[in-house]
A and B are shown apart, each in its own frame.
Chain A
Amino acid sequence: MEITTTITGFVALYIFLLAAFAGYEIIGRVPAILHTPLMSGSNFIHGIVVVGAMWALLNAGSTLEQVIGFFGVLLGAGNAAGGYVVTERMLEMFKPSTKVAPSTEDKE
Chain B
Amino acid sequence: MFSAFLIDAAYFIAAFLFLFGLKRMASPVTARSGIVIAGGGMVLAVAAAFLYGFDVSPRAQPHLGMNLLLLVIALGLGVSWAWYSGKRVAMTDMPQMVALYNGMGGGAAAAIAATELFSGNALAHGPVVTLLAVLGGLIGAVALSGSLIAWAKLDGRMNKTWRLPNQQYVNLGLFCAALAMGAALVVMGLMDVVQAPVFVIALFFIVALVLGVMLTTPIGGADMPVVISLYNAFTGLAVAFEGFVLQNPAMIIAGTVVGSAGTLLTLMMAKAMNRNVSNIIFSDFGGGDDSDDSEISGSMKAADASDAAIAMYYASKVIIVPGYGLAVAQAQHKLYEFVKLLQKQGVEVSFAIHPVAGRMPGHMNVLLAEAGVPYDIIYDLEDINEDFPQADVAIVLGANDVVNPAARTRKSSPIYGMPILNVDQARQAYVVKRGQGKGYSGVENELFFEENTSMVYGDAQKVMVQMIEAIKSLG
Residue positions of A touching B, CB distance < 8 A: 1-8, 12, 15-16, 19-24, 26-62, 64-66, 68-98, 102-104, 106, 108
Measured in the bound complex, the distance between the Cα atoms of B73 and A24 in whole Å is 37
Measured in the bound complex, the distance between the Cα atoms of B240 and A1 in whole Å is 21
Q: Does B45 contact A (CB under 8 A)?
A: yes
Q: Does B429 contact A (CB under 8 A)?
A: no
In the complex, the answer to whether B94 meets A36 with C-beta atoms within 8 Å is yes
Measured in the bound complex, the distance between the Cα atoms of B85 and A61 in whole Å is 33
The residue of chain B having its C-beta at the shortest distance from the C-beta of A38 within the complex is: B25
Measured in the bound complex, the distance between the Cα atoms of B119 and A39 in whole Å is 34
Nearest CB on A from B253, distance (A): 5
Classify the interface of chain B: helix, strand, loop or mixed. Answer: helix
Measured in the bound complex, the distance between the Cα atoms of B91 and A96 in whole Å is 19
In the complex, the answer to whether A52 meets B251 with C-beta atoms within 8 Å is yes
In the complex, the answer to whether A36 meets B362 with C-beta atoms within 8 Å is yes
Contact with A along B16-59 (1 / 0, CB 8 A): 00110111011111011011101100100110111011011101
Kindly list chain A residues whose C-beta atoms are within 8 Å of the C-beta of B256: 15-16, 19-20, 23
Classify the interface of chain A: helix, strand, loop or mixed. Answer: helix
Kindly list chain A residues whose C-beta atoms are within 8 Å of the C-beta of B255: 46, 48-49
In the complex, the answer to whether B372 meets A95 with C-beta atoms within 8 Å is yes
Measured in the bound complex, the distance between the Cα atoms of B344 and A23 in whole Å is 43
Q: Does B98 contact A (CB under 8 A)?
A: yes
In the complex, the answer to whether A95 meets B375 with C-beta atoms within 8 Å is yes
Q: Does B295 contact A (CB under 8 A)?
A: no
Among B319-373, those with CB < 8 Å from A are: 340, 343-344, 346, 353, 355, 358, 360-363, 365-366, 369-370, 372
Using a Cβ–Cβ cut-off of 8 Å, how many residues does chain B contribute to the interface with A? Answer: 135
In the complex, the answer to whether B112 meets A19 with C-beta atoms within 8 Å is no
Among B354-399, those with CB < 8 Å from A are: 355, 358, 360-363, 365-366, 369-370, 372, 374-378, 380-381
* Contacting residue for B67 out of A37, A44, A58, CB 8 A: A58
Given A19-B256, A34-B362, A35-B361, CB of A57 within 8 Å of CB of B70: yes
Measured in the bound complex, the distance between the Cα atoms of B30 and A26 in whole Å is 14
Kindly list chain B residues whose C-beta atoms are within 8 Å of the C-beta of A68: 111, 114-115, 118
Measured in the bound complex, the distance between the Cα atoms of B372 and A108 in whole Å is 8
Kindly list chain B residues whose C-beta atoms are within 8 Å of the C-beta of A79: 82, 101-102, 104-105, 108
Measured in the bound complex, the distance between the Cα atoms of B363 and A90 in whole Å is 10
Measured in the bound complex, the distance between the Cα atoms of B416 and A59 in whole Å is 56
Measured in the bound complex, the distance between the Cα atoms of B27 and A60 in whole Å is 43
In the complex, the answer to whether B31 meets A44 with C-beta atoms within 8 Å is no
In the complex, the answer to whether A27 meets B105 with C-beta atoms within 8 Å is no
Given A12-B244, A33-B353, A81-B78, CB of A47 within 8 Å of CB of B23: no
Nearest CB on B from A26, distance (A): 5
In the complex, the answer to whether B362 meets A35 with C-beta atoms within 8 Å is yes
| Interface segment out of the listed B152-160, B177-185, B257-265, B463-471 | B257-265
